[in-house]
Amino acid sequence: MKNLITKIALLVLQTTAIASTPQIQNPQQPTDHPAQQAVTSSLTIPTTMVAGKHEIPLCSTLPLKGEFTVLGSKIFDGMSLFFNKIKKENADLQFSYRLTVLDDQGDMRHAKNNIKKLKKNQSPLFISFLGTEAVKTALPFIQKNNICALFPLEGASQFRLEEYKNLIFFRASYKEELEALIDYAKGAEKDRIAIFYEESEWGKSVYQTLKDVLASRHMELFAEASYPQDTLSVSKAAKELAAKAPNAIVCVAHSRPAYNFIQQIVNRGLHKTVILGLSSLISIQKPLKGSRGIKIVTSSVVPDPEKSTIQIVQEYRTDLKKYFSNREPSTYSLEGYINAALLTECTKLITFPLTSEKLLQSIEKLKKVRFKGIELIFDPKTRTLCHHVWINDGRKKEWPIANK
């Protein structure tokens, strides 16, 4: 299992799923929301019988080479970890998942071709798209009812619309992440809040969302600076913001440019400025602290993978140690693990033959439930299940929920 992430482009994992009592705990029977009935055309998931059990094909496209290899590999690790654990440990099986992941190298032309190929040759059921560009690439397929996309790792509000019936999110939105970060800044008495962002559709979207969040708290953006997409050209932005001297900066950037930017603003004297980052910047928190003693505070859409006492996180750490002992806990692999576990539990609630409508409705009925310690409240307007955001301030204690 140590060589799951390799240089090959096609990765296929035969997996099996739990057939025991579902782990979703719901004290009240949910009532159907009108939006649940709006799926106009159901997609058939082409399951086959293998050794007397239903085999369900499941697809994804992820960057397994290139700049975002680390993120794509961790997501794949998390999904593989859960499915591998089920295959090894559960004898009473009624169905299995066959996960096929194609490498898109972070190039959306490859991602589009991968979606077409997988939809044609494998299944219309997709999981764990990564990022704004990937969801944007998949959106025409979703709108035309060609695929069903579950639990993308993406927070932009423009995709969280009631009309996108074949798209459901597990994680909280960027708006909810920004609300948590701004409330943290206010609690620390930081009111001169600036933003450093990428000049991309993603960056500009989060920039506007931040302005809306500040306005809702009767605040204004103190300063702003940006850097060109797909570059490390951050010096101009660092100089501009250093001249304004904000006491808090929200970083809407990928890890490498964010790392360079933070180093530069500290060198320019902003060592007392609070650096706030979205969940995607958790990966640079320890390196900055270790090499330069720089502290950053990030949001997280999943609990602390190293210290959380929540049931599913404890199971994740146990499984990681048992099956992927050479992997360190991370938020991205934990989210992949949760996505796979949640899909499995919702699949238990439906009968075969399997269709997208049955699967979507089983997820949409999660109105107020606890899934192995995580609260799920499906919002039909935003197509979102989990609304909690955790704050990671770098201290050696379990991350608190910011918006509980």
pLDDT score, position 292: 76
pLDDT score, position 26: 52
- Tens digits of per-residue pLDDT, 225-264? 999 999 999 999 999 999 999 999 999 999 999 999 999 9
pLDDT score, position 22: 56
Q: Is the predicted pLDDT of residue 33 greater than 60, yes or no?
A: no
Q: What is the DSSP string of 224-287?
A: EEEEETTS---HHHHHHHHHH--SEEEEES-HHHHHHHHHHHHHTT-TTSEEEE-GGGGGGHHH
Averaged pLDDT for residues 171-185: 97
How far is Cα 246 from Cα 36, in angstroms, rounded to an integer? 46
Note the CATH architecture for domain 10-172+304-388. 3-Layer(aba) Sandwich (3.40)
Q: Is the predicted pLDDT of residue 15 greater than 60, yes or no?
A: no
The CATH number corresponding to 174-300 among 2.60.40.10, 3.40.309.10, 3.10.330.10, 3.40.50.2300 equals 3.40.50.2300
Compute the half-sphere exposure of residue 49: CA atoms within 13 Å on the CB side of its CA: 4
How far is Cα 98 from Cα 122, in angstroms, rounded to an integer? 9
31 or 292: which carries more pLDDT confidence?
292
Domains 10-172+304-388 and 174-300 share a fold: yes
Averaged pLDDT for residues 112-139: 97
pLDDT score, position 189: 94
- Tens digits of per-residue pLDDT, 142-176? 999 999 999 999 999 999 999 999 999 999 999 99
Q: Is the predicted pLDDT of residue 113 greater than 70, yes or no?
A: yes
Of all residues in the chain, the percent with pLDDT exceeding 70 is: 89
Of all residues in the chain, the percent with pLDDT exceeding 90 is: 79
Retrieve residue 338's tokens: 């949760």
Domain ranges of the chain: 10-172+304-388, 174-300
How far is Cα 182 from Cα 122, in angstroms, rounded to an integer? 43
| CA nearest neighbour of 356 among 68, 98, 126, 20 | 126
Structural contact between residues 230 and 254, judged by C-beta atoms closer than 8 angstroms: no
- Sorting pLDDT into bands at 50, 70 and 90, what band is 39? very low
